Structure 1
Amino acid sequence: MNKEEIVEKVNFFLVDEFEVEEDDMSPDANLKETLELDSLDFVDLVVAVESNFGTKLIGEDFNGVETLQDFYDLIERKIS
């Protein structure tokens, strides 16, 4: 899976499952603030990543992940 496919898939489930506005989906969007994701949403996010990409994330994986681009990069690293 290439980076473009990862971005497309992540954006789809954020809009579909987390009701994030498509207009807010920019690589520099802050996950917590701009996308309004709280700690419970992060738990759901871990489940969504596992079901969409077949890889598990743990809390430490999110260290340094602040923007949507950071999140795309995290998933790319985990599935590579």
Structure 2
Amino acid sequence: MKTREEISAKLTNILVEEFEIEESDITPEANLYTDLDLDSIDTVDLVIKLQELIGKKIEPETFKSVRTVEHVLDAIEQLVGE
């Protein structure tokens, strides 16, 4: 089982490496769309990367309400815990 800190570190790494987001911009309150400039295609790519990370399928409904980095962490933590 991955800890929240491990998940956060991996998520930050994905956002920096794949989406060229400044690490300093990635905070729990950062909005994926307005603060980090992700679009819907980026979000799909992010979900694919997260699925590879946790080894589980992520249903689209899970990510419909996700808006911030904190929400992503909550969703992943919940999936990992299942």
Q: Mark yes or no: TM-score above 0.5.
A: yes
Residue number in structure 2 paired with 1:52: 53
1:69: how far off? 0.4
- Please report how far the alpha carbon of residue 22 of structure 1 lies from its aligned counterpart in structure 2 after TM superposition: 0.7
> In the alignment, is the contact (CA less than 8 A) between 1:46 and 1:56 conserved in 2?
no
Instruction: Report the aligned-residue RMSD.
Output: 1.0
Q: Which has the higher contact order (CA 8 A, sep 6+)?
A: 2
Contact 1:50 1:57 in 2 (8 A): yes
| Aligned-pair CA distance for 1:58 | 2.1
**Matched length:** 80
Q: Which runs of 5+ in 2 are unaligned?
A: none
Give TM-score scaled by structure 2 length: 0.90
How far off is 1:74 after superposition?
A: 0.5
Quote the sequence identity (%).
Answer: 43
Which residue of structure 1 aligns with residue 23 of structure 2? 22
How far is 1:11 from its partner? 0.5
1:7-35 per-position Cα deviation (integer Å, ceiling 9, x unaligned): 01110111111111111100000011111
Does residue 71 (structure 1) correspond to residue 44 (structure 2)? The answer is: no
Question: Which residues of structure 1 form unaligned runs of 5+?
Answer: none
TM-score by length of 1: 0.92
Give the distance between the partners of 1:63 and 1:51, measured in 2 at CA. Answer: 19
